[in-house]
Amino acid sequence: MKDTTPYRACPTCGDDAASALDAYSPDPWVVAQCGSCALVYLRNPPAYEALEEDFAWEKTYVEKKAKSKGSTPLSPYIRKLRNSLGIRRDKTAQWRRWFNDGHVLDIGCGWGDLIKPPMTPYGIELSSGLHEKADALMRARGGYCVKGAGAEAIWDFDEGQFDGILMNSYLEHEVDAMRVLKGAHRAVKSTGGVFIRVPNFASLNRRVVGPKWCGFRYPDHVNYFTLATLTDMAARAGFTTELVNKVTLHMDDNVSVLLRKSATS
């Protein structure tokens, strides 16, 4: 818990001026809002080495789910609304359409099972335990998984190598989110896209339950996005943003978007 970095600047705009959000900052973690671009982020995140082992996703996810029972007061109503509208979490059909059944990179891929045939899966995974499983699965399907931090490993792939890139419940974990987006801009084809799903800091649920919101995970969630702050970061990296969960956004605990390369980038 003590292996943290010094206070970092805003990962979007680089400004050092930020106001601490005390209600969301359990000791020793400091969650703050940038005074320039309004991004909410963890100012003193753990080093990558700690995220790799001590705060690995598969450990913190289980702990958080056990404490919250996987839900907060509005969650059952949100699920009911999503189901009534025919909205499902499985985005395979959309990914196949957006990414032309091509080569797809999953950053922070976990067990590596999201990208299904006929798409060819590639991955990046920081957790030692998960990387081995993901690599074996992806190699069996024609791809492979690289072990490392997303902001670094993304640059090891060829320019324009991918038809699609997934950041599904990933970007909230990435300390250097701008660098990984710029790397994705380089690695995706001009005809491709980038799908991002992150916790929605602007959700009604967060406003109602405050510090008990399911989107707070300390310290492995280091960025807390709204649609506006995610769109801002993506634009600075050269992308346009299309909102995917348009109907449920304000009640949804997550923001889902599809990024495309902007005409001027």
Confirm if 31 and 42 have CB atoms less than 8 A apart. Answer: yes
Q: Do 34 and 18 form a contact (C-beta atoms < 8 A)?
A: yes
Q: Pick from 186, 19, 192, 172: which is nearest to 96 by CA?
A: 192
If 0-12 CB within 10 Å is exposed, 13-18 middle and 19+ buried, where does residue 128 land?
Answer: exposed
Report whether 178 contacts 222 (CB < 8 A).
no
pLDDT tens digits, the chain, 265 residues: what are they? 334 557 999 999 999 999 999 999 999 999 999 999 999 999 999 876 665 555 554 555 445 455 545 455 556 665 565 555 545 568 999 999 999 999 999 999 999 999 999 999 999 999 888 999 999 999 999 999 999 999 999 999 999 999 999 999 999 999 999 999 999 999 999 999 999 999 999 999 999 999 999 999 999 999 999 999 999 999 999 999 999 999 889 889 999 999 999 988 7
- Structural domains of the chain, ranges and CATH numbers in brackets: 48-261 (3.40.50.150)
Query: Tell me, what DSSP letter sits at residue 143?
Result: -
Among 179, 141, 143, 176, CA closest to 162: 143
Name the nearest CA neighbour of 45 among 30, 63, 32. Answer: 30
Count H helices and E strands in the chain, helices first.
9, 11
